[in-house]
Chains A and B, each alone.
Chain A
């Protein structure tokens, strides 16, 4: 379990993080989102003990990052947003170096390095120079390095940044597997669709302050659209009257004359009754799809647009 206790971090007069408090259960996958400069990386660096809080503390499995950073580090695998390169080092040597730094015995090293390369899908690149790896391969190697000492907690800062779609899918699959192993995972990312797929919890930061922290289900329920997308095979103007009898309003969509958004009750029974009524009235329903909750919408609703407007004044 990880507990942030009123953690603040200031750099002079700049408050990078303001009184962050939350409890992260063991095995959770926490997505950390927020605009640029919202304090995401600061929160991750505080958790990894790379910086110390100005006030407050973080407790990792009963250990304080302030009082016992050395032991906290043993429990954490960290993958930064940049992949630091050592010249003239192969992928195997790269992992071997960090395994040695982790004081791993030679026999253990020789067993774990090939298996780690296989796990992150880099067996074929074992003798390839690290400098010549693609961005996706480098990210996977970085993840392999973070996993070398089998940490309970993984802290990933923008792991999917700059990856092509295939590499993103591979990384997501790997992270799913790690979640299934019971690892607690912290991910900072701007790719919300990835986070929605991976995370059990979401932490939204803005200007260093906590905007929201909750399970993904609760957070998206907060903004869940009360609409059902209905597509017809051919025009049927009576859909408006039939839907109204069930308590739903019908809104034509601008792009498709055969598609409507119906808003009203979100209860499953009411939606089932609506579908039955439409079919009974011979409305040619092609698809009937309650809108899925969108993390993007939750994020947009919870964060202000000031930051974005400041960053893109000509937008």
Chain B
């Protein structure tokens, strides 16, 4: 049987043996549950104290959980991943790993999997809170699964971005800065572009459909959640109609597209990370 990736094993051991991980997890869960409780309380108050076991309230609480979980993942995935390789450089342990027989792909996969595993732990720990929304009602298992897939794809992409910057920088703080700047740049700039582009390029953008918006925002998990709510309301969970140059074609639903785009960019980041760690060979050297 093939051994578990040693980098993954070491990272998991190191991370789970320190109290920092437990406190971080506790803090994240406290944040998510607090925000959900606040929103439920607001819903309850708006019903004039009447019991709110209806679909609307359950769905609102569910969405607040999903968005808060996404915010937490947006923060912890790049921050943890950014310190993975640059942190080894700071501790002066990176040279020793590079000199072993581990391939660059093993190092990158180990580091990526370790951070992703922590995000998975967080999302798994969130499950009991998600389950409460079933008691209230308004959420089905399909939607829950869909949101889990979006959150985990986002976590994976942001982890890969963090690891990529980690391979490029000497210190964890620099890598974290670059990773957060990249992610926040995409999250903040894309919606602005969506608003501004029809004004700037009126002849180029067909503003009568939402297709170009959906395609541009496919990398934006928060926008994906909003568009997916529309799709769920219209019961078009798996497919979507896209109008391109006046032609309407059926395509995958926005969330499927978003997941595919996330995985594509995750692969790009991972390949770039592996290339960064591959020792340069000088052809023709004797």
Contacts and interface: CB of A to CB of B under 8 A. Distances in A.
A100 B14 contact: no
Nearest to B102: A101
Given A100-B3, A101-B100, A49 B93 contact: no
B163 to A, nearest CB: 18
B10 A97 contact: yes
10 residue pairs, one from A and one from B, having the closest CB atoms: A84-B93, A66-B285, A100-B6, A101-B100, A66-B282, A88-B17, A84-B92, A69-B279, A67-B285, A82-B92
A100 B97 CA distance: 11
A60 B104 CA distance: 22
A102 B279 CA distance: 17
Interface in A32-60: 48-50, 52, 57, 59
A93 interface: yes
Interface of B: 3, 6-7, 9-10, 13-14, 17-18, 88, 91-102, 279-286
Contacts of A9: none
A186 interface: no
27 contacts: A5-B286, A48-B99, A64-B286, A66-B285, A67-B282, A67-B283, A67-B285, A69-B281, A70-B279, A73-B99, A74-B101, A78-B96, A80-B95, A84-B92, A85-B93, A86-B10, A86-B14, A87-B17, A88-B13, A89-B14, A98-B96, A100-B6, A102-B100, A103-B102, A106-B3, A145-B96, A149-B101
A5 B93 CA distance: 29
B106 to A, nearest CB: 8
A78 B283 contact: no
Interface string A169-209: 00000000000000000000000000000000000000000
Nearest to A88: B17
A80 B92 contact: yes
A73 B94 CA distance: 14
Contacts of A84: 88, 91-94, 96
Nearest to A155: B99
A189 B94 CA distance: 22
Contacts, number: 86
A93 B10 CA distance: 9
A64 B280 CA distance: 12
Interface string A81-111: 0101111110001000110111100100000
B18 A87 contact: yes
A109 to B, nearest CB: 9
Given A82-B92, A85-B91, A89-B14, 4 more contacts: A48-B95, A87-B17, A98-B96, A145-B96
Contacts of A98: 96, 100
A87 B14 contact: yes
Given A88-B18, A89-B14, A67 B92 contact: no
A241 interface: no
Contacts of A97: 6, 9-10
Contacts of A149: 101
Nearest to A65: B285
A49 B279 contact: yes
A270 interface: no
A76 interface: yes
A68 B95 CA distance: 17
Contact of B99 (A52, A78, A100): A78
A52 to B, nearest CB: 6
Contacts of A50: 95, 98-99
Contacts of A67: 281-286
A10 B6 CA distance: 35
Nearest to A148: B100
A74 B279 CA distance: 14
Interface in A1-43: 5
B280 A76 contact: no
A58 to B, nearest CB: 9
Contacts of A68: 281
B19 to A, nearest CB: 10
Contacts of B284: 67
Interface in A125-178: 145, 149
B102 to A, nearest CB: 5
A179 B265 CA distance: 51
A76 B96 CA distance: 11
Contact of A76 (B3, B92, B99): B99
Contacts of A85: 91, 93
